[in-house]
Chains A and B, each alone.
Chain A
Amino acid sequence: MSWRALLHNHRAVAGALIFALFCLVALVAPVVVPYSPTDINFTPLLHPSAEHLLGTTINGQDILSQLIWGARASLFVGLVSGALISLVQLVMGVFAGYVGGVFDTVAAAVTNVFLVLPSLPLLIILAAYLRGGGLLMLVGVITITGWAWGAKVLRSQAIALRDRPFVQAARVTGESRRHIVFAHVVPNMLGIIVSNFFGAALFAVLAEAGLEFIGLGNINDVTWGTMLYWASEGDAILLGAWVWLLVPGLCLALLGTSLGLLNFAVDEIANPRLRRE
């Protein structure tokens, strides 16, 4: 994987730019928001105007401020869940696959159990059970339901790598198991691992929004998902406040797209056969 390859890949550049934009917005949100996102002192249901570029909600909150602030939540949940999921997958997939033996047998069994559990109902049930918990609860629930599939993929890849001559050569030169996993197995799986990370982050962003939309998150948090919840509760469409309903969804779609593009890009770079001439 070379930097130059990244720059020539249009999908990577597009995805990276969009993603970077969201990150930037999330970082400088406190500075950039025109008003406090929770401030309810404005006239409700205003159409977009000079003072409120995207209008106001039924509770009198500025939509643009909420939108900017919501980026923080989505990125937080997306990246943290993605990271946690990747970590679990590394242990249950890569390490188990390489080490083999009893550890792997148990890990594989656990992975299979989690795979069999239907993730969407589980997600909803867990979130409902922990009702009222905010973003951290969502991160937890998403991690629990989102790690299994990727772990299975990583495991089979690790098992394949285990038999490669250069890994066996590392054993013969006296390397410790831990060193072999981190210096030989993981680097040669980097493409899949990074790709899994983006996939997990995408899943997390959408799962979070979905759960909040059905009211299972903390409805007092300012996130894109809760914006959609309130918009739906407040009959935004009936009242003609289509901007309120549209923009959070649009942002979710854009962020999701950027993660998807980055995912494709990593796939292409790691597997030269997918590159287009």
Chain B
Amino acid sequence: MVSTLGLPAETSEDPSPALEVRGLTKNYSIGRIARQKVVRALSEVDLSVEKGEVLALVGESGSGKTTFARTIAFLERPTSGEIFVGGRALPRRPSNHRLREHRREVQMIFQDPYSSLDPFHSVRYSVARPLHSFGLVPRNAEREAVEELLDQVGLVPAVDFLRRYPHELSGGQRQRVGIARALAAQPSLILADEPTSMLDVSIRLTIMNLLLDLQRSRSLSLVFITHDLGAANYMGDRIAIMYAGRIQEIGPASEVMSDPKHPYTQLLRQAAPSPENERRQGTQFEGKGDPPDLTALPPGCPFAPRCPFVQSRCEEALPDLRQVGAAHHARCVLYE
């Protein structure tokens, strides 16, 4: 039996990145007619992800990281900006046909394993749907194809899992089904939105390792979204830090972790729990203030109110991303 799945993507000579994003902006309006406010969830995001690369996107809630994933997956229409997948531009209002092509290339893994699978349908149904809707496998070969996918995500024996329902599975198992479903479409890019944050600690690594293995064997590009710096360091070839809807720092993972340039990244690193830290007696931690209000962003740097190195010009204008290392950029007046 020859499997049509699981083969690495055709290596073409095309050097275009798997994903490229320019000036991506997404605003939402909330509130009633007379008192509407605009939430600036994403502002002028420029980013690219190379073929076969893992980009870890780090941010807290409200940073825009989930909005980023939803916009790339086209669950939301961007307010402005351009999206290129595999070098091909996605029109602002794609036709149904074009959208399906996009969906075939870009898949998503969701955060909550307890609500990302339809409770009404079996595992087999959920994993087979992409095969069916993209016409990837003839009807009579569907079952085999699903079994093979389940096998690849570690749900063995696959035959047992076919007829199970989500409520019969643990969180980790459900997440594996979600991964199988994403892989079924044979995408070139997978957006994983905090896929492990709702799982038990000991299960997280197994899922992260699974994603890494699958990504390497299929030369997939992966955007791994998380709020956990440790996970970002583990998964990512590069790390991008988001704050208030913008990229604040981006660079190779080891560099961003060992020599963070942006004060926010430094703050994150300091704040993250780490057993290596000596027991703190007395106040040393500088973190103050609250996460930014996306409906009322100040004109300059959004991190200024909380920044230990804030200067007067920080509130005047937003700095650009400047080079601070070989492939390392940071958006801060300190580097202008």
Contact = CB atoms under 8 A, between A and B. Distances in A.
Interface of A: 164-176, 179, 183-184, 187-188
Given A175-B133, A187-B120, A188-B118, A165 B103 contact: no
Given A173-B181, A173-B185, A188-B118, A168 B103 contact: no
A133 B189 CA distance: 63
Nearest to B127: A173
Contacts of A165: 110-112, 115-116
Interface in B75-117: 75, 100, 103-104, 106-108, 110-112, 115-117
A175 B184 CA distance: 14
Contacts of B134: 174
A105 to B, nearest CB: 14
Contact of A173 (B107, B115, B119, B120): B107
B129 interface: yes
A164 B104 contact: no
B69 to A, nearest CB: 10
B73 interface: yes
Given A188-B118, A188-B119, A169 B104 contact: no
B108 A169 contact: yes
14 contacts: A165-B111, A166-B119, A167-B118, A168-B110, A171-B75, A172-B73, A172-B75, A172-B107, A173-B103, A173-B133, A174-B103, A183-B118, A187-B121, A188-B118
Given A173-B103, A188-B118, A168 B130 contact: no
A165 B69 CA distance: 13
A53 B130 CA distance: 65
B172 interface: no
A127 B75 CA distance: 48
Per CB-CB distance, the 6 closest pairs between chain A and chain B, nearest first, are: A187-B120, A165-B116, A174-B103, A173-B130, A166-B118, A174-B133
Nearest to A184: B118
Q: Which of B75, B118, B178 has the most CB of A within 10 A?
A: B118
A172 B118 contact: no
B120 A169 contact: no
A169 B185 contact: no
A169 B121 CA distance: 13
Contacts of A175: 129, 133
A188 B119 CA distance: 8
A224 B115 CA distance: 49
Contacts of A183: 118, 121
Contact of A172 (B103, B111, B117, B121): B103
Contacts of B112: 165
Interface string B230-273: 00000000000000000000000000000000000000000000
A188 B120 contact: yes
Interface in B115-172: 115-121, 129-130, 133-134
